[in-house]
Amino acid sequence: MTRSPLIQLQDVAKTLGANRVLDGVNLSIYRGEITAIIGKSGSGKSVLLKHVIGLLEPDGGAILFDGRLRAAMTPAERKALRSKFSYVFQDTALFDFMNVYENVALPLKERNALSPDEVNRRVRDKLHQLDLHDVEQKYPAQLSGGMKKRVALARALVTDPEIVLFDEPTTGLDPIRKNAVHSMILDYQRRFGFTGVVVSHEIPDIFFISQRVAMLDEGRIVFEGGPDEIQEATAPEVKNFIQGLESPRDDLTGIASQSIGQNRLLQEMSRLQRYQIPFSIVLLAMDNLEDVDRIAGHVVGQTVFKVFANHVTQSTYITDTCFRFDINKILVVLPDTNEDQARDFCRKLARTMRSHALFGSIESVKGFCYSVSAGVAQAQQGIGLDELIAAAGQTQAMFYECRN
């Protein structure tokens, strides 16, 4: 694969105040793709984005467009280059003294290349496409956060840019609006074919709309590759970051809490409805947990469950979510997975559990017995979550047993 990148950052360094924000960033952005930049807050993602568009100049290193050095361009060339860009600001940066219509019309008006009628037509088109025609006379301060984001998006897209940079387009939005913004980006990217760079915290959602992912940490790119590759990444900073973001863990079990799991299920459901991306769930139950509690005490029971949860976590991918569904049940959400693949997951899990003595010395205690059963179901459109979980419960079959 010898594609040449559209934008290339080579050893870009930037010091702001006493902070070395970027410390030799190497990144390639390819034409027609969406590149996601992820990383901790304050790791310099926005600063990186501002270097791409030229709001900030690097202290060291080079930025190339189509193989040409930006620093060596003439002012006219730079101007031509800048007109290909659009930028969606983190907190929208709408002109608060202008109404929605004027905000969206401004970049077209100021370019002076179009007749007033043409400007009017394009602005109304864009407002209509983004469902903003009802509010075109309102001022940004009168709009909700989600609407402001859409106005910012309209303003960025009205010039038909070749490259659009998004600085955390979904921060502060509810899950449904988040999905809407993501699908809007994806939809527009497919329709207009622009090159996108998205700075985001929305993991794993961002992986579904991007072709490339780069992770910024301590001023350097620590990972660059496809969204599938990042799930298998072994570098601890990448793994920790992604899992850490995915699920603030329940201290007791070491897995995600129930509310996070429920949220995740809702997200997957809306993704299924929107993009027809399938997902499956696996319901794992520890059948004799009460017996364990009774024989060895509650603390041992909890420990047993925790170790079991740990095993389940280890056999999942980064983008999978497992959470405690009930006192003795764990629900695993497997995105982008059909029923057969989910069964494979169960078989793999059973194999690992058999090959490791699960609880070491506890298992040899007389009378200690427990078994694990699993039920699998694939989500279908039009079937609710409760029915899905019930379906998984019906297919439940024992797959591991330990009896002394």
Partner 1 sequence: MAMLVTLKSPIAAIGREVLDFTQHLGRLFLFFMWGFVLIFQPPFQFDKIRQQIYFIGMKSVFVICLTGAFSGMVLGLQGYYALVKYGSTAALGSAVALSLVREMGPVLTAIMVIARAGSSMTAEIGIMRISEQIDALRTMDINPMRFLVSPRIAAALICFPLLTALFDVVGLYGGYLSGSALLGLNPAFYFARAQSSVEMSDIIGGFIKSIVFAVVVVTVCCFQGYYTHTRAEFGAKGVSISTTSAVVISCVLVLITDYVLTTFLL
Stretches 93-101, 281-289, 291-299, 393-401: which one binds partner 1 (CB under 8 A)?
93-101
Residues 6+ apart with CB under 8 A from 97: 139
User: In degrees rounded to 5, what are phi and psi of residue 210?
Assistant: -115, 150
Stretches 65-73, 86-94, 293-301, 368-376: which one binds partner 1 (CB under 8 A)?
86-94
What is the nearest approach in angstroms of partner 1 to the Cβ of residue 187? Answer: 22
Among 32, 57, 60, 82, binds partner 1 (CB under 8 A): 82
What is the nearest approach in angstroms of partner 1 to the Cβ of residue 163? Answer: 11
101 binds partner 1 (CB under 8 A): no
Q: Are 318 and 243 in contact (CB under 8 A)?
A: yes
Among 13, 62, 93, 383, binds partner 1 (CB under 8 A): 93
The interface mask with partner 1, positions 22-61, x = CB under 8 A, is ----------------------------x--x-x------
> What H or E segment, with its residue span, contains residue 282?
strand 279-286
Among 86, 247, 253, 313, binds partner 1 (CB under 8 A): 86
What is the nearest approach in angstroms of partner 1 to the Cβ of residue 164? Answer: 10
Tokens 């095993």 correspond to: 311
What is the nearest approach in angstroms of partner 1 to the Cβ of residue 349? Answer: 49
Nearer to partner 1, 169 or 204 (CB): 169
106 binds partner 1 (CB under 8 A): yes
Report CA-CA distances (Å) from 78 to 16, 26, 53, 72, 188: 24, 22, 10, 9, 26
What is the nearest approach in angstroms of partner 1 to the Cβ of residue 117? Answer: 17
Q: Count residues binding partner 1 (CB under 8 A).
A: 22
Nearer to partner 1, 56 or 127 (CB): 56
Binding to partner 1, residues 326-355 (CB under 8 A): none
Stretches 19-27, 80-88, 221-229, 314-322: which one binds partner 1 (CB under 8 A)?
80-88
Joined together, the tokens standing for residue 220 give: 């350097």
Handedness of CA 100, 34, 159, 96 (dihedral sign): positive
By the 10 Å C-beta count (0-12 exposed, 13-18 middle, 19+ buried), 399 is classed as middle
Joined together, the tokens standing for residue 252 give: 């007791």
Q: Are 65 and 53 in contact (CB under 8 A)?
A: no
316 binds partner 1 (CB under 8 A): no
Binding to partner 1, residues 149-188 (CB under 8 A): 159
Among 9, 94, 215, 342, binds partner 1 (CB under 8 A): 94
- The phi-psi region of residue 100 (left if phi > 0; otherwise alpha if psi is between -120 and 50; otherwise beta) is alpha
Binding to partner 1, residues 108-137 (CB under 8 A): 110-112
Stretches 63-71, 95-103, 143-151, 286-294: which one binds partner 1 (CB under 8 A)?
95-103
Joined together, the tokens standing for residue 275 give: 């993009």
DSSP E strand boundaries for 125-172: 163-167
What is the nearest approach in angstroms of partner 1 to the Cβ of residue 76? Answer: 12
Q: Which residues pair with 216 in a beta bridge?
A: 39, 221
Tokens 């006219």 correspond to: 76
Tokens 């709309």 correspond to: 209
Give the 3-state secondary structure of residue 249.
strand
Relative orientation angle of helices 116-129 and 100-111, to the nearest 10 degrees:
140
Binding site for partner 1 (CB under 8 A): 50, 53, 55, 79, 82-83, 85-87, 89, 91, 93-97, 106-107, 110-112, 159
